[in-house]
Chain A
Amino acid sequence: MIKACLAALFLVSFSASAMPKWFDQSHEIFLTKELDTMASNYRDFPLFWWNFLIIDGTTNWDDLSALCADIATSSANLVQKVPCHFDVKQLGDFTHDWLRDLPLREAFPGDKVLHTRMQETLAKASLPMGRDVLEVLRLDPLGTLNDLKERVEKRMQMDLKLEHGFLVDEKSHRVLMPIQFSFSPADSAQTHEFTSTLADRCQHLKGCTGMDLFGPHASTRENEMRIRDDVSVVSLVGPLAMALLCLFIFVTRRYRILNLVPILLFTIAFDIVVTVLVFGKIHGITLGFGPGIVGLAMDYGIHSCFLGPRSAKTWRANWVGLLTTIVIMIILGFSSIPLLRQMMFFSVFGLCFNYLLIYMILRRWPEKFEADHYQFSPAQLPWLKPVAIVLLVLSAAIFTQRVHLDVGHLNYESPRTQEMRQWFFKVAGTDSPYLVIEDERNALASSESHKKWADEHGIQFEGLSNYIPSFNDQTRHVLTWRAKFCDGNKPKLTEQQTKFFAPFLKSIDCDKLYADPLNSAPPDYLQDFAHEGRYVGLFFPKTPEQIQTLHAQYSEATTPREIFDSFPRIFYNELLWMVPLAFAGAFLFLYLHYLQLGWSALAVVPFLTGLGLYAAIVIVFHLPISFISLIGLLMVFGCSLDYGVFVMDFLLFRKEDQRGAGVWSALSLCAFATIAGFAPLVFAHHPVLNDLGQALLWGTLGTYIGSLWGITGVYTFWQKWRARA
């Protein structure tokens, strides 16, 4: 019941719309420090803030252009660039900075060329045109904006046809509208502000059958929405199960057990505060799993309530249960994966703190907690013994199952998003680019060297050097302009040219006409590559050979896929030494307690039956086993050893004890509280919540069967076998 209560609390807190600052829900916590630094590049640089609006059902360009213009204007606070809507005013800073930096990019072309180009521009200006276009001509006699347009279009190279600023897949009559947001994907409230308008926009677009956002922002938002939707369902089922359990306790008049609840709630609150103080933030997964693990401490309280808090035997079993549980967690706490470290800290601290409180309070005021046990024993359901034996055998089947350790498995995608992703990567003909961070001391030189190498190896490169030359080249160019425009010099221009090109002439400001080493804020046209003084460059290798060459030259160059693919490798390598060590540590405590290998092994039976039931369900229903499932099984392992110790202690030391029979009541209540608390998660669609729910529900149910019928079954068989021997 207590664990159910905690689960409900967690779920309700998750469903709150505004996430507090101390709450973390990033994927980066799965990554080691080194990998996180690389992954954060994809989050922080605006270059990766591009998404695509995928529109089905219409290719009416007038309607689509109107939609595009509407998005660009009505969502101007959210959208940074929409290539299908060309508006000189909206691109103000972008074009202004580009035009201003002309003297950095190119040497003064000479009087004759300048005169000719100005006259050509005047000829263009004599055609009918809007005022905004005319103003651009006045600023840009050398036509450098066309140059910018060509360079920017290169960035969006895809195997799709460009029409009216949209990308079109003619086969599927699908239109793709690139959109760059002005905020990071993590800011999902802003993404929601945008996506919430799409249904209405589609309704007002004639022929539109679907309009969806696809990209990093959309994915982040979809995952968050899925969790919230799941939580809204699960948070109804959870409290309902909890209410039923409460009703059962009230009807059966075991009120004193409820005195444990405030102790646990205080522990959880204190544990969260301490974790936030130590780590700065607490991750949603820690908050979700942790209370369940800490709630294991309640098993010791319930065990004490039914078996008597005054009995030394009760506490001896409790101590062994605690030590076998925390030894596993301490070993896992040495992981290089921050999430595991945080979860294990939260669990170990909470478990010990709660145990300490229970130990002191129950021993000081035992009469406030003692409860009569139920008249229930496993003998009442003898048919579950063979079931337990079958589950024990089935546990081996878990090793036949593939474990999905990739983080991608934890990414929720609706069927629509899956379809869009498959279509996109099929038609876009583009793979993830390889990212490098330019040398912070001299980003320009670093980018230039990357570009030079890429050109030599036929690999496309996108970065600073495509837009601005090295500091030395800039200086050389600037000097030619200064010689013509500064220190009392003026180019020879006609009166008409001087008047018409006044904005251009004004933009050549001798006081500011110096090379830019990019030490301060970068110009607007370089903003996509910049974040807090760091710059990024991208390689686009096409063939496996090019990828190999790139890796050989720049081992640090990586793609998001490579970053996330490294997670299973790290996790697998850690599991290889952690799991055996954790089992050995737990087993050592069991052996020290029972001083017999056989008794110690029997205490592990509940975990094996739990594993057996989970394996059977996984096989029958084709469920995936993920990183989250493994953590769920870890929680099951923690509680299963407690159950095993409680049963074994009863069988070995308290069979004749009057209160000893309370062990069945204690285990039943603990198990059903866990099941009631976490079983609703199996109704969730998000892989994280669902995987956790499946592991906990079936693992705990199997553990319960193993504790009550498995251990006694094997124990009886063993006794008979020994007697016969």
Chain B
Amino acid sequence: MGPKIRLQCIWSFLLVPLSLAWGAAEKPVDLATLQKALKSYQSIDRLDVDFKQTKILKDINLELKSEGHLTVKAPDQVEWKIVKPEPLTVTLEQQKVTVKSSSGTQSYQQSENPSTKDRESYATLLTWLKLDAGAIADKYNVTELAKNHYRFVSKDPHEAMIKALEMEMAPDNHVSKLIFDEVSGDQMRLAFGKPKVTYRSQK
């Protein structure tokens, strides 16, 4: 047995307990627990929240930073408004996507979109922005990494866009951080401020 192989064995013995400890920290989360955690989002009528976003493009080693405001209106309308670096608003309503910028407005129906990938991505994004617990649990295996810190891994090995996601919740149960791990290797980090929420019952 040469010195190289011996060294590998030692490393392996050291790493086994570490990985076991890591595994033990991840606790599977069932639908009921997830629904409980996201309870405040299930009955909202309108949600307004500011966000700061960083997109890390792995291949070209570039970080794209932006700031904006997210508005979710029940049942199906989401407005993703980027204020900096350049105003751009993406509105998702039913099957209609509208992209508005200073250079004009583009609008198209998702049903007309020939790209299956795009349609799936659209559906996934909508699920996340609405924090629909049932839909999320359907598509992802959910584990709890720490208190109020969850990890979601896609059940679909052929998932086109988001491979895994981490979500942190603030003590008052609003989502404070989302980290999207894209299939491409890129990452998107979103930090949310304190949301202003109107519930259906309050209306």
* Chain A contacts to B: CB under 8 angstroms: 61, 65-66, 68-69, 83-87, 113, 116-117, 119-120, 122-131, 133-134, 143, 146, 162-165, 496, 499-500, 502
Contact = CB atoms under 8 A, between A and B. Distances in A.
Interface stretch (B8-16, B55-63, B136-144, B145-153): B55-63
A68 to B, nearest CB: 8
B23 interface: no
A85 B60 CA distance: 28
Interface in B27-56: 53, 55
20 contacts: A61-B111, A84-B114, A85-B116, A86-B113, A113-B103, A116-B103, A120-B88, A120-B103, A122-B86, A123-B87, A125-B64, A126-B53, A128-B125, A128-B162, A130-B160, A134-B184, A143-B106, A163-B112, A164-B112, A499-B60
Contacts of B118: 86, 133
B157 interface: no
A123 B57 contact: no
Contacts of A65: 116
A87 B118 CA distance: 10
Contacts of B112: 162-165
B183 A130 contact: yes
Given A65-B116, A164-B112, A143 B64 contact: no
Contact residues of A: prevailing secondary structure:
helix
Contacts of B114: 68, 83-86, 164-165
A74 to B, nearest CB: 16
B77 interface: no
Contacts of B86: 116, 119-120, 122-123
A500 B62 contact: yes
Nearest to B188: A128
A580 B51 CA distance: 92
Contacts of A69: 116
**Residue in B60, B82, B86 whose Cβ sees the most chain A Cβ within 10 Å:** B86
Nearest 10 CB-CB pairings of A with B: A165-B114, A119-B86, A131-B184, A86-B115, A123-B88, A86-B114, A126-B55, A120-B101, A123-B82, A65-B116
Contacts of B188: 126-128
Contact of A128 (B85, B101, B180): B180
Interface of B: 53, 55, 57, 60, 62, 64-66, 80, 82, 85-88, 90, 99, 101-103, 106, 111-119, 121, 125, 160-162, 180, 182-184, 186, 188
Nearest to A62: B116
Given A120-B86, A123-B82, A500-B57, 12 more contacts: A86-B114, A116-B86, A120-B103, A122-B64, A126-B65, A126-B188, A127-B188, A128-B162, A163-B112, A164-B113, A164-B114, A496-B62
Nearest to B64: A126
A126 B66 contact: yes
B161 A129 contact: yes
A500 B62 CA distance: 8
Contacts of A146: 106
B154 to A, nearest CB: 13
Contacts of B62: 496, 499-500
Contact of A165 (B55, B113, B121): B113
B14 to A, nearest CB: 36
Given A122-B85, A122-B86, A163 B111 contact: yes
Contact of A130 (B82, B111, B121): B121
Nearest to A124: B88
A164 B160 contact: no
Nearest to A162: B112
A121 B170 CA distance: 32
Contacts of B90: 127
Contacts of A164: 111-114, 119
Contacts of A125: 55, 57, 64
A126 B82 contact: yes
A500 B53 CA distance: 17
A130 B158 CA distance: 13
B60 A120 contact: no
A128 B103 contact: no
Contacts of A128: 121, 125, 161-162, 180, 182, 188
Given A84-B114, A116-B103, A162-B112, A130 B66 contact: no
Contact of A120 (B57, B102, B113, B182): B102
Nearest to A494: B85
Contacts of B161: 128-130
A205 to B, nearest CB: 15
Nearest to A87: B115
**Residue in B65, B82, B88, B115 whose Cβ sees the most chain A Cβ within 10 Å:** B115
Contacts of A117: 103
A463 to B, nearest CB: 25
Contacts of B115: 85-87
Contacts of B180: 128
Nearest to B58: A131
A457 to B, nearest CB: 30
A85 B116 CA distance: 8
A134 B57 contact: yes
Nearest to A115: B86
Contacts of A162: 112
B164 to A, nearest CB: 12
A81 B119 CA distance: 20
B85 A123 contact: yes
B182 A127 contact: no
